[in-house]
Structure 1
Amino acid sequence: MPKHYIERILRARVYDVAKETPLDPARQLTEKLASPVYLKREDLQPVFSFKLRGAFNRMAQLDAEARERGVIAASAGNHAQGVALAARHLGIKATIVMPRTTPPIKVKAVRRLGGKPVLQGDSFDEAYVHALELVKEQGQTLIHPFDDPDVIAGQGTIAVEILKQHPDPIEAVFVPVGGGGLIGGIAAYIKYVRPEIKVIGVEPEDAASMHAALQAGRRVVLKQVGLFADGVAVRQAGKETFKLARDYVDEIILVSADEICAAIKDVFEDTRTVAEPAGALSVAGLKKYVAREGACDKGLIAIESGANINFDRLRHVAERAELGEGREALLAVEIPEQPGSFHRFCRILGRRYITEFNYRYADSRNAQVFAGVEVGGDDERLELIGRLKENGFPVTDMSHNEVAKLHIRYMVGGHAPGLENELLYRFEFPERPGALLKFLTGLGKRWNISLFHYRNHGAAYGRVLMGIQVQRQEQALFEQMLERLGYPFWDESENPAYLLFAGTEELEL
C-alpha cells in the first residue's frame, strides 16, 4: 500500500490553487522546550487551511460529465472552503452541507468563494448524512473530507515539502487528527521515504475517534464529541485512513482543551498569528511529548493546520491558556472571619499576580475565597498550596475542575441555606439562535429551578449550570426526562466547587 500512495502523492495536483508553505523555526518554543521546533505553516494557504490540497486533487480527477453535475461536500468549515475554492477554479458548482454549529467566519467564507452553504444538523456526522441524501436526489459527486485516496494523496504533499525543506535529522512530525486524511497521507509518505521519523497524531481528549479505533483494533463510533476543536470533531475515523494510521502512525497523543488554548498562545508568540484550535493541536501534542520524553536535539515538526478561528472564541482561549500552560492556579481557600486574616493570606501569596479574587461574607466564623493566582507551573502551584495549608488555611485546588473554571468562578457567593432537595447538573447544547429557549422549554414545569448559570463562551456549544429541586425518589424519573431532551448532561451535585460556593450547605474541609 505505501508504494501505491507514494505514486498518488507524487502525481497529485494541488499547486493550481495551493502553495508550498514555509517550514518556520519556532524560536520561542525551541527555547522553552530546549529542542528544535518547526511549524509547517498551512495556515498561510489561500483558505487558511491545508484542506484545499486534498479537495482540489480529488476534483481535478473528475471527468467532464461529473464536473457538469457539480459536487457536494459535508464539512465543519475548512474542507468546505477548500472545495468552494477548487470548484471556482475548475468552473464547477459546489454545494456545502455544514453543521449549524459551524463558526460564522467559515460559512461566510464559503459564500465568498462561490459555494452554496446548506446548514444542517449539529455535528459533522449529521451534515454528512444530509449530504448523502442530496447526492441521491441530485446526482452530484461527493467530495469526502478525508476518507478518499485522492484527498489523502493531496494532503500527503505536505510530507513531500517537509522532507525537502528539512533534510536534517527529524525526531517526529506531529499531525492533528480528525477523520485521518491528513495523517494518513503524511504517514504513508514519510514511512516510505524516511521510516526512522516518528509520525505522531494528536487528538482532543473529547474527540479521540482515531485513538479509540487504534486501541480497539477497529473503527468505533464515539457517543459524542467535543466541539471546541471543531475542525477535528469527528465521531468515527475513516475506513481508509484507519488502515493507514494502523500501519504507519507511531502513536496518538491526547490533549485537553486548556492545553490547546496554551498551544494557540505559543503559536501566537512565535508567529503573531492566531491558530484555530484544531490548527494548534499538533503543538499541544508536541509539548506533551517533550514533557514525557525530555528535550532532544533532532527536529520536532508540528503541522499548524489552520487559522479559521471565530473571533468571539478568542475570549475563551485567552481565559484558558494560562490554565493549559499550568501558569494559573484556581484555589478555594477558607480564611477565618477576623481582623488580619486576609492580610496574612495575601502575604503568603507574596508578589504573585492575582488573576481573580472572589469573596462574600457568609457567617461570623469563616469566609470562602475563590482566588486565581499566577504560578510558574505545577510544582509552584503545589508548593503554594502546601504553604497555605502549613499556615492554617484549608485549600481545595480547583485548577482542573470544569465546573469551577466554567461557572463557579463567575458566580461565587451563592449559598442557599435551608433549600431542600437541590441537585446540580451541567449541560451542553449547540449554540445557535433559540437554543436556550428550546432547552428551557424541554425541561417543562414539574420541577423548580433553584440555580441557573449560562454564559456564552464564544464556542460552538453553550454551557449551562442548573440547580433544580427534585425529590430523591424522583431523580431517576428526572434523568429519564433529561435523556429524552437529548443534551449531554452531568450530575455535579457532589462537586466541591458547588458545595463550597453555591450549595445549600457549607462543605466541611
Structure 2
Amino acid sequence: KAAKSGHKTGNKTGPGIDAVFVAIGGGGLISGVANYIKAVAPGVKVIGVQMNDSDAMIQSVGAKERVTLPDVGLFSDGTAVKLVGEETFRIASNLVDDYVTVDTDAVCAAIKDIFVDTRSIVEPAGALAVAAIKQYVATHKTKGETYAAILCGANMNFDRLRFVAERAEVGEEREALFAVTIPEERGSFKRFCELIGELPGGTRNVTEFNYRISDAAKAHVFVGLSTQGKGESAKVAKNFEKNGFQTLDLTHDELAKEHIRHMVGGISSLAQDERLLRFVFPERPGALMKFLSLMRPGWNISLFHYRNQGADYGRILVGLQVPPEDAAAFDAFLATLGYPYVEETLNPAYRLFLRSK
C-alpha cells in the first residue's frame, strides 16, 4: 500500500518511494525487507513500527543490546514479542533508519482506513505500518513524498472487529464523548437535545446517549457525538458549559471508552411507575424531538439508552414514569408516535438489573 503526503516537492530517490514502513515483532520481516531495499535502493528509508506497549526492538536499539520486556500488550498479538532475535537485532541496528510507535486507537483507525481504501480487512499487526505513516506525516509535516506500507497480516475475527470499529471512531476523534450534568427536572433533557442540534460547526449525529435517573436534583448523562476531526471535543464541551451544563470531556479517557460507557444505569429507587420500552427510531434528524414533543409534560424519562449502529434505524431503550391513571393516554401516545416498539416492563432481566424492588 502506497500513500502520498501532501503536494509534490523535490526529487524522488530510488524507485519513486521515499520510505517503507514495516511492522516489527521479533524482527524477521523488517530484517529481510531492509536487507533487500538497502541492496537495490539504498536511498529509500526503512522505518520500523511497533506498538507503544510492545516496543522490544526500539528499546533494544536504544540500549545497544537486546532488552527483554517484562510484559507486552496483546491487542496486536502478531507483534507482541518480549525479546527480539539476536540476528534480527543486529540487522535492524545497522539498516533500519527510524522507528515509530503507535497506540491502539491509531491502529484501529488505520484498519478502518485500509478497509475503506481497499476493501481489505487486516489484523492489528497488519495495520501498524499505515498507522505509522499517518503519524509520521502529522509529526514531520512532510509533503510530496511517497511511502509504502507493508500490510503483513489478516488474522482478524468478528469479535475483535467489533472493538476495532468502535475505537476507530475515537482514535480519529470522529466521536467525542462527554459526561454532562443536567438538572433533574421536566424539560431539561429536551433542552439539552435542542442544544446539541444548535452546536456551531455543522450537523453532528448523536452516536450514544446513556442516562439513568439516580438523583433527585441532577442527572449525569453519557453522550457521544460525531465530530469532523481532532480537537473538536474541547470546543463542544466549552459550548455546553456556556449554556449551563457542567461537562467533562471523556474523549481521551480510557476508563470511559472501555468500561463506563457500558455501565451507565442500574437500579434506581426514584424510578417509580416506570414502564420500559424498546423502540426503533428512524435514523433521521428530528426523530428524537418528535418523541419528546409528543410526550405529556407530566411523564418523566427515567432511563435512556441509544447507540448508533450505522443502520437506517436506531434502537433505543427508554424508561418512562407514567402514572397508572395515564395508561390509556400513554397507549394513545404510542399509537400516534408511529415508531415500532416492544414493551419490556415485565422482562425478567429488566426486573433483576434495572427495576427497584
The answer to whether residue 93 in structure 2 is matched with residue 242 in structure 1 is no
What's 1:458 paired with? Answer: none
Q: Distance in 2 between matches of 1:35 and 1:346?
A: 42
Q: Distance in 1 between matches of 2:170 and 2:117?
A: 19
* SS state at 2:167 partner: helix
The answer to whether residue 11 in structure 2 is matched with residue 201 in structure 1 is no
Report the residue type matching 1:205 in the other structure.
N
More helix by share: 1
Shift of 1:318: 1.1
Q: Which residue of 368, 383, 388 corresponds with 2:240?
A: 388
The answer to whether residue 259 in structure 2 is matched with residue 412 in structure 1 is no
Q: Which residue of 120, 130, 137 corresponds with 1:273?
A: 120
* SS state at 2:65 partner: coil
Q: Distance in 2 between matches of 1:253 and 1:328?
A: 25
User: Which 4+ runs in 1 deviate beyond 6 A?
Assistant: none
What's 1:214 paired with? Answer: 61
Report the residue type matching 1:34 in the other structure.
G
Q: Distance in 2 between matches of 1:214 and 1:345?
A: 53
Report the residue type matching 1:383 in the other structure.
K
Shift of 1:354: 1.1
* Contact kept in structure 1, 2:14 and 2:42, CA below 8 Å: no
How many residue pairs are counted as aligned between the two chains? 261
What's 1:182 paired with? Answer: 29
Q: Distance in 1 between matches of 2:15 and 2:96?
A: 21
Q: Distance in 2 between matches of 1:359 and 1:224?
A: 38
**Aligned residues: CA RMSD:** 2.4
* Contact kept in structure 2, 1:35 and 1:295, CA below 8 Å: no
Shift of 1:190: 2.2
Q: Distance in 2 between matches of 1:240 and 1:347?
A: 62
Matches within 5 A, 1:108-507: 168-350=15-197, 351-414=203-266
Q: Distance in 2 between matches of 1:354 and 1:334?
A: 17
Runs (5+) with no aligned partner, structure 1: 1-23, 37-162, 418-509
TM-score normalised by the chain length of structure 1: 0.48
Q: Distance in 1 between matches of 2:255 and 2:264?
A: 12
* Contact kept in structure 2, 1:35 and 1:300, CA below 8 Å: no
The superposition leaves residues 43-100 of structure 1 with CA deviations (integer Å, 9 ceiling, x where unpaired) of xxxxxxxxxxxxxxxxxxxxxxxxxxxxxxxxxxxxxxxxxxxxxxxxxxxxxxxxxx
Identity, % of aligned pairs? Answer: 51
Q: Distance in 2 between matches of 1:390 and 1:192?
A: 61
Runs (5+) with no aligned partner, structure 2: 198-202, 270-357
What's 1:118 paired with? Answer: none
Q: Distance in 2 between matches of 1:258 and 1:177?
A: 18
Report the residue type matching 2:108 in the other structure.
C
Shift of 1:392: 2.2
Shift of 1:414: 4.9
Report the residue type matching 1:290 in the other structure.
V
The superposition leaves residues 290-345 of structure 1 with CA deviations (integer Å, 9 ceiling, x where unpaired) of 11122421211100112121232211111111111121111111112223332332
TM-score normalised by the chain length of structure 2: 0.68
